[in-house]
Amino acid sequence: MSQTATSAHAVKTSDQLAVCCRGGGQEAWAGTEMILFVEDERFVREVAGEILRSAGYRVLTATNAVEALAVYAVHRGAVDLLLTDVVLPGENGRALARRLRRKNPELKILLVSGYAEQMGVQGDVVECLAKPFSGGVLLRRVRQTLGGNELGREEGSSVRRACSSA
């Protein structure tokens, strides 16, 4: 496996993380927007959060919907993107996305799931990212969801998927 294709689950050291996040034209996927990242798996939350921060994004984290709602309340006007796992303890990521979309209809949403059946399209369409994903795919999908570069299919099915927020 090449270092630029290392999945977020496989990055084990800060040196590997640094290699994962630089080079390969990833500057085009950088940004300064604020992302509310909701992920209950500590390792995934930390590694993906660091990948996003290394690209210049401001990242707020939460482990579940209750924490996410509290963080959002404090930073409401500044959050540009909700990046959330679909499967969370308590309220799931889809329900969280619906609640925050009611508060801010313009909020960009990128759902993350390791379960193919959760990637089906129905109801309001939001962007999806399939686990596992590489650091490059994460940055491209975030940039694309925020309104950056329009990308075609790359690195398999985790790049361009849409799923329901319902």
Based on the structure, what is the number of domains in the chain? 1
C-alpha 58/C-alpha 102 separation (Å) is 23
How much is the pLDDT for 20? 45
pTM of the model: 0.76
* Residue 36 backbone phi and psi in degrees, to 5: -95, 110
User: What tens digit of pLDDT does each residue of 150-165 get?
Assistant: 443 333 333 334 454 3
Torsion angle, alpha carbons of 60, 63, 68, 69, to 10: -160
76 vs 72, residue with greater confidence: 72
How much is the pLDDT for 124? 56
Domain containing residue 102: CATH number: 3.40.50.2300
Tell me what the mean pLDDT of segment 2-28 comes to. 44
User: What tens digit of pLDDT does each residue of 109-158 get?
Assistant: 999 998 765 554 445 557 889 989 999 999 999 999 998 654 433 333 33
Residue 60 belongs to what domain range?
A: 3-164
